[in-house]
Chains A and B, each alone.
Chain A
């Protein structure tokens, strides 16, 4: 059995995924998606100069990278004794999750609800994924949810 954990700001989802993997002797893959949809989200902003707009998109990407940078160490610490790997992708979060699941290697997707990763804070990520999932889904209520 292999579990895919979609990473967001929630540490509870990480704890639940690790607990499940340990209990079931399953492998765990954590997926961090750098949100690359700001360009579209700012489509209606026609006033900004290219520098201001580009500067912001770069800032958002850097923010994601900084968040991603601390992940390997933190996750390795929590997943001792588990077959674990971390993957980083860039794009639209639900699409990247589905792409990873399409490999057929996963039996379960674990993610927080509400899911807070990039612009997904404005979208109902889980609801959009449910009809398209090729595996089971385990939603973890976010701490502040």
Chain B
């Protein structure tokens, strides 16, 4: 009986997953090569190289079209289970990304990433607290928006909400704001990066610091440069992402502490308790892969194993990107409004612009790994 239940669950995944895989196959193997051969302004590959319309960006766009046009705002039951595997694909891809680094290379860039992330995370949180007070916003909502704008959007918002007793309806509005701003960032940052001649290192550092939602950092880096290898935008951006993810429990603790200090009631909590319940375990998989890579257990750079691993990553992320697009509902995002929208746009814009200025002023084109 149980076996049949498992097989039934597996069968439910197939239609949606097949749709995502087939979409990616067509975009990666048919549409992108065709676009690369199309001449615009007398230049072959203008669309893929200059505009950056590669299979990653197209996967997100087609995913969005599925959700908003084909499915009219709701993934149908026959496809829902398959599309739910999006998280699994992206998490698996991120764990595998750990193989792009060694402990030494992480140590070289990690310090800068930690410094920038900590400064921007807490800077944004204080900005949101100040602005929230000015707008007379509910304290629990200030806490949620602080975490969401400061750390990494949706994940931080849902990790913080129970601790600050935020209303689910308000959390939904906060998430819509974050996603809306993130989508805009996702499409405007690669052209800006190209126009300013940013290197992969600078671009990864910029969007890793400046984009609100970590999922969109990943998508943006891959759309700037779809190559998955050491020294590419996704390799740098993901270091920033991982630092952000690790900071979630600490930020949740800080914001919850701030919230309850302003309330009349006492609330018992401990950093250890929050760490246990909020720490994303999959990050350990990422570091595990880095450890394997550091001791050459995946082969030397250029080995068959690493080549195969990166090829798989491209497919795994590609499938994840179709799913990521399919979870973007413009109807829901349009409903974002009020104080959360004002704070989200102000904090998001400030973060994006300020991080770009800092990258241009203080970060060289080349990283040391």
Contact = CB atoms under 8 A, between A and B. Distances in A.
B154 A122 contact: no
Q: What secondary structure prevails in chain A residues at the interface with B? A: helix
A122 B316 CA distance: 31
Given A41-B175, A44-B86, A63-B167, A49 B278 contact: yes
A46 B87 contact: yes
A48 B176 contact: no
A47 B152 contact: yes
A42 B169 contact: no
B80 to A, nearest CB: 7
Interface string A51-64: 11101100110011
Interface residues of A, number: 30
A119 B155 contact: no
Interface string B300-343: 00000000000000000000100110011001100100000000
Interface stretch (B41-49, B158-166, B255-263): B158-166
Interface string B233-250: 000000000000100100
A48 B280 contact: yes
Given A44-B179, A44-B324, A123-B331, A118 B155 contact: no
Q: Which residue of A9, A51, A116 has the most chain B CB atoms within 10 A of its CB atom?
A: A51
Contact of A123 (B152, B215, B245, B332): B332
B176 A46 contact: no
Contact of B162 (A49, A59, A64, A122): A59
Contacts of A119: 168-169, 172, 332
B155 A45 contact: yes
A73 interface: no
A43 B277 contact: no
Q: Which residue of B168, B278, B332 has the most chain A CB atoms within 10 A of its CB atom?
A: B168
Interface string A21-33: 0000000000000
Nearest to B168: A60
B173 A43 contact: no
B159 A52 contact: yes
Interface string B182-214: 000000000000000000000000000000001
Given A48-B159, A63-B167, A116-B169, A43 B87 contact: yes
Given A43-B86, A44-B324, A121 B172 contact: yes
Contact of A47 (B155, B327, B331): B155
Interface in B70-86: 73, 75, 80, 83-84, 86
A84 interface: no
Contacts of B167: 63
Nearest to B88: A46
A139 to B, nearest CB: 17
A38 interface: yes
B168 A63 contact: yes
Given A46-B215, A63-B168, A122 B176 contact: yes
A40 interface: yes
Given A47-B154, A56-B161, A63-B167, 19 more contacts: A40-B84, A43-B87, A45-B153, A47-B215, A47-B280, A48-B158, A49-B280, A51-B276, A53-B158, A56-B162, A118-B169, A119-B168, A119-B169, A121-B169, A121-B335, A122-B173, A122-B176, A123-B73, A123-B335
Which 7 A-B pairs rank lowest in CB-CB distance, beginning with the nearest? A44-B327, A47-B155, A56-B158, A59-B162, A49-B280, A122-B332, A45-B154
24 contacts: A40-B80, A41-B172, A44-B179, A45-B158, A46-B87, A46-B91, A47-B152, A47-B214, A47-B248, A47-B280, A48-B158, A49-B279, A49-B281, A50-B281, A52-B159, A52-B278, A56-B161, A59-B162, A60-B171, A63-B168, A119-B169, A123-B73, A123-B331, A123-B332
